[in-house]
A and B are shown apart, each in its own frame.
Chain A
Amino acid sequence: MIIEKFLNKWILFFLLLIPILGFVLEEPYYITLTTKVIILGIAGIGLNLALGYCGLISFGHAAFFGLGGYVTGILSFHALNSELMFSWPFTASGSSNMLVIWPIVIITSALLSFIIGVLSLRTTGVYFIMITLAFAQMLYFFAISWPNYGGEDGLSIYMRNSFPMVNTMDPITFYMICLFWLLLAVFISAKLINSSFGMAFQAIKQNEERVKSVGIETFKVKLLVFIISGTITGLAGSLYTDLNRFISPSVLNWQMSGEIMVFVILGGIARLYGPLVGAAFFIVLEQTLGGYTENWQFWLGLILILEILYVRSGILSLFEKKLKYEK
C-alpha cells in the first residue's frame, strides 16, 4: 500500500511534467497523445469502480463513453449551426460551452447508468456481462441508423468546445482541463473506496451473501456504484469528442467496452491509477508496434495472456515488486 502511494506520486509528477516537456521540446503531438491517455484513463477509472472494486463485470461501458461523446457532439453541432435541438415540449438550443455541456453529460450518463443498472443488476455473472453488452450494442446500432448526426460516418464538430477565458484549442490548455478531470476522478474514487460505502461495495465483490446477511441493501449499493462508474466514463467520452472534434458510432461498439476493460486489467484491477497506466501502455503499444504492423493487437493479446497468467495484479505490481526488492 505504501509502495502503491509512492508510485502514484511518481505518476502525478510525470503527468505534470508532460506539458512542460511538450512546451520545451515543441512537440504538441506528445501532449495530445498524453491527453488521449488521460481521457481513456478516466474512462478506465470509471469502469474500475464497478469492475475492480465491486466485481461488476460490465461489458457495456462503451454505452456511457459513447453517450457522453454524442451528447457533447450533438450540443456542439447545434450551437455551431445555430439550430434548435428541439422545440417541443420546450425549446432547447445547443451549446459549445464546456461548462454547460459537462453538467448535461453528467446528468444523461447518470440517467443511462441508472436505467441500465436497474435492469442489469438483477442478474449476475455471465448474464450481467451479456445484458450490459446488449445495451451498448443497441445504442451502437441506434447511432449508426441515426442520419441526423452522421449515422455510420460520425459527426464532426470542427471547433473544440470553449471554456471561459482560455483557448481550448491550445494542446497544453486542453491537457490541463483533462488532467483536472483525471485528478477529480481519482479523488472521488479514493474517497469512495475509503468510505463506509466503499467498504460495503468492496465486501460485495468478495461475499455478497454475507453482506446481505448483515442487513446491507446490496442492490442499492451496486446500483449507486454503477451510476457513479457510468457517469465518470460518460465524462471521459465528452472529453474524447472534444479531443478529436469528432464522434462516431465506433466508440459505442463492444470493442470500445473491451478496450476500457483492457486498460483496467493491464494497469491493475482495483488500483487507483491502474487504468491510467493500462491506457498509457495500450497507447504506447499502438504507437510503437502499430508502426510495424496493422495487426499490432496480436502482440497486445500475447501480453494480456502473459499478464493474466503470471502478473495478475497488473503492470503497477511489477514496479511494486522491483521497489520492494530494491528496498
Chain B
Amino acid sequence: MKNKILNIKSLSKSYGAFKVTDEITIDLHFDEIHALIGPNGAGKSTLIKQIVGSVKHDIGSIILDQEDITDLTDIERAKIGISRTFQVSSIIPQFSAIDNIILSLLDKSNKTFQLFKSVKNNKELYLNAKKILKEIELLEKSDVSASDLSHGDRRKLEVGLALAMDPKVFLFDEPMAGLDESGTNMMINLFKKIKSNSPILLIEHDMDAVFALADRVSVINYGKIVATGTVDEIRQNELVRDVYLGYEI
C-alpha cells in the first residue's frame, strides 16, 4: 500500500444493463508509468472520467496518496492533485498557447480570484508558463492562438496544461494520438522525465510508445481488467494477444 500513490478498488459504472466498467481494481505506484490498453469501447476513457470525477461511479473506491477521494467533486480532485488530458483536445481556443498554460497555473498559485491586478504584469506566472512551453516544445508558438495550432501542437498543449498543475498523478488519455514521429519521441522523453515526480496512468493505442514507456501494462476488455503485468508478461499473454494485440507482436 505504501508504494501506491493511486489505488482504485472495484470501480463500476453501468448505463442501464450495460456495464462500462466492471469492478475495476488498478493501482499506480510511485515513479512508474502504468499503461492501460484495450480495444475501442473497452471502458478506458470512462475509467479516467470516473477517476477524475466527471462521471459518477456506482460502486468502488478511489484512494489518492492514502486519502479517500471517492466522494470528492471533480474540481476538488483536480485541486488535490489529479491532472488529466482529454481524448479529444480540450483547450481554450481563443486563448494563446501561453494563456492556456497560465490558466492552468492560476489555482495552484492562488490567483484565480485576483480581481483587479493585470495578469499580463505577473512575471512569475509568465516565467513558469514559458518553462512549460519549452518542455513541450511550443515556446516559439507561445503567442499563437490555440485554435490556430496544428493537431499535434494541440496535443502537446494538452499535456502542457496537465504539467502546469504540478499534480500528484497524471492521467493521460491518448496523448500521442495524431503526433508525428518527432512529437511522439518528445512525449516519450518528457514522460520518462516527469514520472519520478508524478506517476502516469497512460491510455495509448500506439503500442511502440506503450512498450517503450510502460513499467506495467493493464489490459481492459468489456469493462474488465483481463491482465496486468510487465511489458514482457503482457506480450506473452495468450488472452491479451487474443483480445487486443494479435499474434504479430
Contacts and interface: CB of A to CB of B under 8 A. Distances in A.
A218 B113 CA distance: 11
A93 interface: no
A199 B75 contact: no
B90 A210 contact: yes
A195 B84 contact: no
Given A206-B94, A210-B92, A215-B108, A195 B78 contact: no
Interface string A189-230: 001101111111011001101111111111011001000000
A207 B91 contact: yes
A interface residue count range (under 10 / 10 to 19 / 20 to 34 / 35 or more): 20 to 34
B78 A196 contact: no
Interface centre among A199, A200, A210, A214 (most CB of B within 10 A): A214
Contact of B106 (A191, A202, A213, A214): A214
Contacts of A212: 54, 74-75, 78
Contacts of A199: 95, 99, 102-103, 106, 119
Interface centre among A192, A202, A210 (most CB of B within 10 A): A210
Interface of A: 191-192, 194-200, 202-203, 206-207, 209-218, 220-221, 224
A206 B112 contact: no
Contacts of B75: 212, 215-218
A198 B113 CA distance: 9
A203 B86 CA distance: 17
Interface of A is mostly: helix
A216 B73 CA distance: 12
B117 A196 contact: yes
B217 interface: no
Nearest to A201: B112
Contacts of A206: 92-95
B116 interface: yes
Given A213-B78, A215-B108, A194 B114 contact: no
18 contacts: A195-B115, A196-B117, A196-B122, A197-B115, A199-B106, A200-B112, A206-B93, A207-B90, A211-B92, A211-B103, A213-B83, A214-B104, A215-B75, A215-B165, A216-B103, A217-B75, A217-B112, A224-B113
A191 B120 CA distance: 11
A207 B103 CA distance: 12
A203 B107 contact: no
A243 to B, nearest CB: 29
B90 A196 contact: no
Closest 7 CB pairs of A and B: A215-B107, A215-B78, A196-B111, A215-B79, A214-B104, A196-B119, A191-B116
Contacts of B125: 196
Interface in B108-156: 108, 111-120, 122, 125
B95 A196 contact: no
